[in-house]
Structure 1
Amino acid sequence: MSLTGLFLCTFLVVHLIGNLQLFKNDEGYAFNNYAHFMTHFTPIKVVSYLLYASIILHAVYALILTLKNKAARPIGYHQSAGNANSKWNSRNMGILGTIILVFLATHMQNFWYQYKFGTTPYIEYHTDLETGNRQTISSDDLPANYDGYKSFVKNGVETVKTKDLYKQVAFTFQNPFIVLLYVVAMGALAFHLIHGFQSAFQTLGFDHRRYIGLVKTIGIWVFGVIIPIAFAIMPLYFFFKG
């Protein structure tokens, strides 16, 4: 659980950096190029399979550990004050993880599945390399002769033809229920990581007093505050942008 959890934390950082392209005022040019790169560059595809396996293993081991804990003490305590020696999020990691799992399934269906197999819109970017001016041709449907991502330069004009995942994101985040799910899930992620990040290092034996303070600081401020807030801002940005 510790190793898969830390790998997933690393992925969150990379995923956030890439998704920040959504805030560029370029009609999705940077984000759509990023989306194509992430889904077609072979080393990234291999890492993606490791990511899917890590999510599954993390969830399975969570269930196994929960069952082992219950089996170790089939009869509960007559009286228990958990808040006396543990924090709320550490006692409810399963609930937080379940919320995150529901979010992941929704997220994959809305974007990964739609991008690979669904009805993601289409866009062409024509950029004059001398002036930097860019024109776009957009369609809600892929053209009949669409044969994948194309990028080429002709007569000083760069042409990029691709699926418009940016438009798919903007459309999806007009649904208030989807936006609410994302915001709640990022709240669950924050509490999950505040405990999980530090706990992973402790499980692996890296809990010396010289650096445990730094681990806790990173766990709280980077993974418990900055990353969840940044991800939560994205659906809110598109929802209120309209």
Structure 2
Amino acid sequence: ANTLSFPVEIRTKENGYLAILGVINEELVFASKSTTEGIHVDLFKKLFHRLPENLQAKIKDLLARNNCSMIFEVISQEDTHIIKYDQDHLYVLDMIQNTLDVNGKHIDVPFSREKLAELYTILQKYDTDLISIVKTVQQVSTMDELQAIINEELNSFHESEGFVLVDSNGFMTKFKGPYYNTWKHRRNRILEPYQKFGKIPYGNCKNEDDTKFADFLGSLDYDVVCKSTILDIKDMMENQGLL
């Protein structure tokens, strides 16, 4: 309430990992996790190269002409998280100038909006469902409107990570919903410790549903648990009618 400058955009928070695409010395540069190397960069690069070659060239030209970089949320079946996706996808989040700062802002909203509109025009000319611009759900003008949306989210349990707030000054912050927080807790504090140490950490269960989740893990073969992601465990529970 003391920080946000209205109006505030509410954007979908996709559940992947952050990646950056830029152009240096007329070459595309792929980055993620604070580096230009590693598995996340490789996955990002592989997905981008699945785009039509002409589209790749158009994106490269757009970045080079405007001296900016493109920020992505990468959804890969080889790097799953809490929310289930049926296919790989590249969500474009923003376009950011290649400068050390933008006057203390996270992004320059008018600049990003203008360049995303240009990107949208480009994307319309290609038949691909691998890339899209992240959705802006709505815009609110007052703290009361925003609080009402937050309260609604807090009292729901739908399958999403949450949303991102972008205010008129370019300040950004994330809001994580109950569904995401619940399953992230079960992954980080119950499943992964059990996989690592071989003992179910019942002390990390916060409620009866967490305990039922822990009990279900205990009913499975330990080798199966060790090879499973949280999405795999959720699928097993759903197949047995436990969710």
**What is the TM-score of this pair, normalised by structure 2?**
0.23
Higher helix share: 1
**What is the TM-score of this pair, normalised by structure 1?**
0.24
Higher strand share: 2
